[in-house]
Amino acid sequence: MVVNEEDKAYDDINVTPMLDLAYVLLIIFIILTTATVQGIQVNLPKASAAPSLAKPQTKAITITQDGSIYLDTYPVSIQELESRLRQYKAVNPDLPVVLKADATIQYQRVVDVLDLLGRVEISQIGLVTQKLVK
């Protein structure tokens, strides 16, 4: 008796087309899910264009390695820093300030800025540090 190759039983199943189908279904599911997350359409009320809502309230003071002081991204002297912070404090009495200083600068420079913040009566002060990686 002669057995043809066509009549032989398969020992393994080719799963490649099944995986292709699974990936296509996964992509379709992701696209449809993100498209439906838009939510319900509502007519939102209009707010006044107050400048306090348009700009971020937190001011960032940065002290670089060479001792230069920046308010947000603008270089300032210690006297300019004090006058600008007083202006911001007059507009927003609860002005939050974040202080970022280079790790290699003299500690006195940071103390000078903290002393200035105390004179301006800014009480919401944050010190930026890096997370210690072990």
- pLDDT tens string, the chain, 134 residues long: the values are 565 666 666 677 788 888 999 999 999 888 877 765 555 555 666 766 555 444 568 888 888 888 888 888 888 998 999 999 999 988 888 889 988 888 888 888 888 889 999 998 888 888 887 766 66
* Rounded Cα–Cα distance for residues 44 and 54 (Å): 18
- Fold type of domain 55-127: Nucleotidyltransferase; domain 5 (3.30.420)
| pTM, rounded to two decimals | 0.55
**Hey, which residues does 125 pair with through a beta bridge?**
97
Alpha-carbon torsion angle 20, 22, 23, 29, nearest 10 = 150
Going from the C-alpha of 31 to that of each of 36, 58, 63, 99, the distances in angstroms are 9, 37, 46, 42
